Homo-oligomer: A and B are copies of this chain.
């Protein structure tokens, strides 16, 4: 049975065109961009080309606004701790929505241990940030506010421009985690009014192990990895040219193909939602329309998401997710699903589908059949 891979939010295969472009930086052009000889200059050029491609993807002011990191977790850490520590004179207060990724929430919890105040901004039942409540929560001494562009578990896209307006009336900086959104929907840091933006390479079909942080000109950060002073002193360590070059190329391809590919995936997603909601006691989680084009998330009453995942994998060779891979180590229900108002037992029955370039519309009947049979079988076995 051919594999149907529906878990692109956890990991995506590298696009073959990205590999074809970037593999020269593993073999022939392997230099260190900080060295002065010809091998270093080749690497330096690859690094700056990649920076240019990321700049274009998000309409940054200039190439120098892009800092390469080892991934989204590091970008989130650098944005939040870096901005908070460097601008401590503004106040020891940070804020974030209740549905942020754990790599945003945990750095803030680290700050809390050093006496920072952490204000949580609630979302409604579809996952949208409540901007009125946000306005009431933010104060003149809030240093940085972190709101994700789109949520990885429920797909909801935030009204970032509106959020930016509210944030900037009081707070210093808006950090936006665009790990799930980058390369999937248009992100324009200037139009959206973003100060710091996290991007991940693999989430747009680039190699794992690279991320970027957009830093608006004038925004002040303290580095979290001091050393050789690479990346304008904001991120030390020899740049991983293969991965960075691959991320750049992935960004270029994503930008070129975004309109058409989004339309294709949206159509597939809508059909999938329609089919799966035919199953009894199945519900869409997240926003019905303001959601990522490739993202369909559900909950089913009286069964466990992990059982769905394992059954679909073993019985149908279909790979889905039941929550953030990054929190799979715990058996706790998803903090995102609790934040949108689900009860513990409701949150446990979650299934997330994230479509990608390899998926085709004719896979839908097999997916729908697999999910339906799996849910029905598990319900029969369930003691609930």
Q: B-contacting residues of A (Cβ < 8 Å)?
A: 5, 7, 10-14, 16, 19, 26-28, 30-32, 34-40, 43, 70-74, 76-77, 101-103, 106-107, 109-110, 202, 207-210, 224-230, 236-243, 306, 309-310, 312-314, 317, 319-322, 324-329
Contact = CB atoms under 8 A, between A and B. Distances in A.
Select the residue from A28, A226, A230, A314 with max chain B CB neighbours within 10 A: A226
A240 B208 contact: yes
Nearest to A229: B329
A242 B207 contact: yes
A103 B236 contact: yes
**Which are the 10 A-B pairs with shortest beta-carbon distances?**
A209-B240, A228-B326, A103-B227, A70-B70, A73-B237, A106-B226, A11-B32, A37-B313, A10-B32, A73-B227
A166 to B, nearest CB: 27
A320 to B, nearest CB: 8
B319 A72 contact: no
A306 B36 contact: yes
Nearest to A30: B13
Contacts of A11: 30-32, 35, 39-40, 43, 238
Given A35-B10, A70-B209, A107 B227 contact: yes
A345 to B, nearest CB: 20
B238 A26 contact: no
Contact of A12 (B30, B34, B310): B30
